[in-house]
Amino acid sequence: MESCKLEIILHSAKDLFDVKIFGTMDPYALLCITRLDRSMTSDLYKTNVAKGAGPYPVWEYRMQFEVVSMNNSDILICQIKHDGTLFDRDIGEVIMPLSHLLAGNALGEKVSYPVKLDTGEVQGKIIL
């Protein structure tokens, strides 16, 4: 099977839901490529923590994935979390079909995707 390398840069996020009552959020993101049924999963990447960034973190985090055989069920998952003192809190999640990301970004331009909260509501976006 032929494979290729896919480079993705998570630039930033905007207008994220603030999970902190006092103080400022310290967001980070976890990203991986997987299948809808979670049968195959790539390496998991973790961005740096954007200390004191609140709902507007900037990461400029570069990842390189080895894509063996692209499938219509391949998705990129981005979980955004707050780096807490005692425990980390979920801020939101982005799930996007990999084919959609590639089709919309053939020229290397920045694209944004909505962030979903646990409630299903949308608040904020990530920029890739």
Query: Per-residue pLDDT tens for 45-100?
Result: 999 999 999 999 999 999 998 877 667 778 999 999 999 989 999 999 999 888 77
| CA–CA dist 3, 6 (Å, integer) | 10
What is the reported pLDDT for 41? 74
CATH architecture of the domain with range 4-127: Sandwich (2.60)
pTM above 0.85, yes or no: yes
CA 109 to chain centre: 17
> For the chain, what percent of residues have pLDDT higher than 70?
88
| CA–CA dist 35, 15 (Å, integer) | 28
| Token output for 59 | 């990461």
What is the reported pLDDT for 69? 67
The answer to whether 78 and 31 have CB atoms below 8 angstroms apart is yes
pLDDT (mean) for 5-20: 93
Say yes or no to pLDDT of 106 above 80. Answer: no
Does 60 or 22 have the greater pLDDT score?
Answer: 60
Say yes or no to pLDDT of 1 above 60. Answer: no
- DSSP codes, 27-82: EEEEEEEEETT-SSB---EEPPP-TT-TT--EEEEEEEEEESS--TTEEEEEEEEE
Q: Give me the residue spans of the domains in the chain.
A: 4-127
Produce one character per residue of 25-47: b if its CB has 16 or more CB atoms within 10 Å, e if not.
bbbbbebbbbeeeeeeebeebeb
What is the reported pLDDT for 105? 59
For 10, phi then psi, to 5°, come to -90, 105
| CA–CA dist 16, 114 (Å, integer) | 10
